[in-house]
Structure formats: C-alpha cells, structure tokens
Amino acid sequence: MTDSKPSLIIEERPCQSGQRMGYACLNAPESLNALTLPMIRQLTKALNQWRQDSQICFVWLEGAGDRAFCAGGDIVKLYESMTSDKFTTNVVSNKNDKSSPGTNLYAEKFFSEEYRLDYLIHRFSKPIVCWGHGVVMGGGLGLMSGASHRVVTEQSRIAMPEVSIGLFPDVGGTWFLSRMSGGAGLYLGLTGASCNAADAIELDWADNFLPSSQRTHLIEALQRLQWSSGESNHSRVTQLLRAWQEQHKAQLPIGQIAEHRDLVRQVTRGDTLAEVVDSILSLPAKDGWLKKSQDSLINACPTSLHLVWRQVQEGGRLTLSEVFRQELVMALQCTTHGEFKEGVRALLIDKDRKPKWRYQNVSSVPPSYIQKFFTPPWKKNPLDDLSSH
C-alpha cells in the first residue's frame, strides 16, 4: 500500500470578518520540505486562484514538522536529470555551433517554474505571512524572501550554501545579496554562512521575530482581524506582528552578523575575488561561526565563487524580473558544465564529501569559462514574459 500523503496541503479557513484565509503547508518533513516540481506547480496554482478571489484576505505559508520551513529544492531529482537521457535533450540553440551542450529539459522546467513562483510571491497583492521556522535554505529562502510578512523564530537557521554543491545563490539571490550593506551579501554568498532570526531581520530576510510557541495563537489572531478588501490589509498585519514582537523581543537571539559586522566589512573590501577569498581565509577563527565560514569557503566550488562575485557586483543594476531571467541562464548552464553534478554527487549521492572541481582555486578559473554561465542557451528566455519592474 503506497503512502498517498499530499506533498502540499492547500486549505481555505474562515475568518471572523466573513472572508477566508488561504493556507499552504509544504508537507514533506522527511526531506525538510524540499521543493519538488509538483509542489511548485500546486502552490503556483493555489496562489493564482487566491490572488483573484476577493474572499481570500491573506495567505499563510509554512512547512510541516518542527525542523524546517524548506531546506531548498529537490536537487537529487536535478542530479538525475544531469545523469539520465530521460530528462535531457541534445538539441542546441545554435545549430551552427556543434559544441553547444544543449538544454536540460527537466532543469529548465524546474528552475523556470520555481523562479516564476518566487516572482509571483514578490508581486502578490495580498498579505502573505511566511512562517520561517527551522531550516530555511536555498529554495526555501526564495519563497520566504518575497513574502510581504516574514516571521522567524528562535529555531530559524537561514543560509544560501549553494557554492558547496557547484551551484550559486539563486531564487533571487542576485537581488537580495547585492542589496545588503557592509559586504554582508558577498560574505554570505561566498561562505554560505548560517544566520539566525536576529541576522535575518537585520539583513532584510525577515520582518518579525516570534517564539515558535506562538504559531497557533498568531494564526488565530490573524483570523480575528477585521479584514477589508483593500491595501490596508497589509498595515493590519504589520501592526499586529509588531505588537506581538514587542511582547517577545527579549527572546530574540544575539545576531552573528551584528557581532561580526566590522570583520565582514573589512574582509569584503578587496578589488578582486581572490583578494576577498584570501582575506576571509586569513582571519583568525575566533569563534565557531567564523571557523565554519572559512571551512565552507575552503571547500566551495571555485567556479561558483566567481558566479557569486558577478551576482553581487552587477545585481544592484538589475530589475527583479531581469534577476530571475539571468539566474535561469546561470542555473541551466550549471547543469551542463559538470560542477553542479559533481557537487551533488559528493554531498548527497556518494557522500564522500570530496568533490573534484574543474579548477582548484579562484585564480585558475578563466574569465572566458565564467562568461559561458551568462550566455543564454536559447534565443527566447522562458521568463521573458515577467514584468520589467
């Protein structure tokens, strides 16, 4: 007998004002609620329906279980797409260029639909309250970062560790990392360093802190609000969350970014990627957070570090839609050049934690090789229809 448990729970619950809330729960706790393509499609469908339904006043988004909101995308399935003819095609965008690696069809579907969902959340007209409890990484942060009201708890652990698997901080990472002050975006992108609730609020990854014990009470309080049909609903949620946070602010943990702000600013001032990497690795590891950052950087894919450098250097000039279009190009190129496949193999498939990167350090990576990751594999980007705002 097979388990028919839905991977995404979609419900509509009544509010006292007579309207309804949209409830969405990522329901795969055994995989830390990792996003699959069916989950992406179901959530996109629900949000589009709720966006058009005048009786839906707000959306609650969370993950099942106590361990994670969402630890990222289903990269094992992506690994299969990079190793099996079942998911790939050799059709090239330029028929005169026989060296073109072609496009990974499954990866194109997964990344384009994931980024389209992230963009929908960023542009959603109604309040979306995201309960960012536990692990929030990669694709999970892509979902949370676009929500209008992002709540973190004492157990929130947030990071973009993609450089360890030969990928890069996607799902809008170009947008939010390039807009962080004091070099924090570059540092977090290069090291994949983990952040807590206080860090998330300082970095604008989250808006409010509440103890995890308040989850059910918060949902009930939101259902009791006097909802209207206009923009004032956002301010109603904002005022409620601020008042609740004020009651519990003594439980907010001490932030790592705040504690290391001067060091982060100092080591990210270099004019080149190699200078910044050397500066971070040369720091005396005075505490566990710094030491973990350095260990991650030592083992990171050099190609991925170059991609992060470009993201942070150039991302501030891009609109949100341009960010997702560029990241789709980068992600698909990552699936064809071998680094991403090797990184997933070493971490999750063979689990030997000894990836064999194409280049041994950032200084040996040719600029011409990095440029390939920014070269579209087709004439028309699947995300060309996203608004230019």
The domain over range 8-372 is classified in CATH as 3.10.150.10: no
Assigned token pair, 199: 């860090």
Return the residue matching tokens 């361990």.
67
User: What local confidence, expressed as pLDDT, does residue 4 receive?
Assistant: 73
Angle between helical axes of 273-282 and 302-314 (0-180°, round to 10): 110
Burial letters 181-216, b for 16+ CB under 10 A, else e: ebbbbbbbbbbbbbbbbbbbbbbebbbbbbeeebbe
Active site residues: 73, 139, 162, 170
pLDDT value of residue 231: 76
Sorted by where each begins, the domain ranges of the chain are 8-372
Q: Between the CA of residue 77 and those of 83, 89, 248, 294, 335, what are the distances in Å?
A: 10, 16, 40, 29, 12
Note the pTM of the prediction, 2 decimals: 0.94
Nearest to 168 by CA among 48, 326, 294: 326
pLDDT at residue 1, rounded to an integer: 42
Q: Please state whether beta strands 20-26 and 8-14 pair in parallel, antiparallel, or not at all (unpaired).
A: antiparallel
Output the tens digit of pLDDT for each of the chain's 389 residues: 445 789 999 999 999 999 999 999 999 999 999 999 999 999 999 999 999 999 999 999 999 999 999 999 999 999 999 998 666 664 444 444 444 457 889 999 999 999 999 999 999 999 999 999 999 999 999 999 999 999 999 999 999 999 999 999 999 999 999 999 999 999 999 999 999 999 999 999 999 999 999 999 999 999 999 998 777 899 999 999 999 999 999 999 999 998 999 999 999 999 999 999 999 999 987 789 999 999 999 999 999 999 999 999 999 999 999 999 999 999 999 999 999 999 999 999 999 999 999 999 999 999 999 999 999 999 999 999 998 65
**CA 338 – CA 79 distance, rounded (Å):** 10
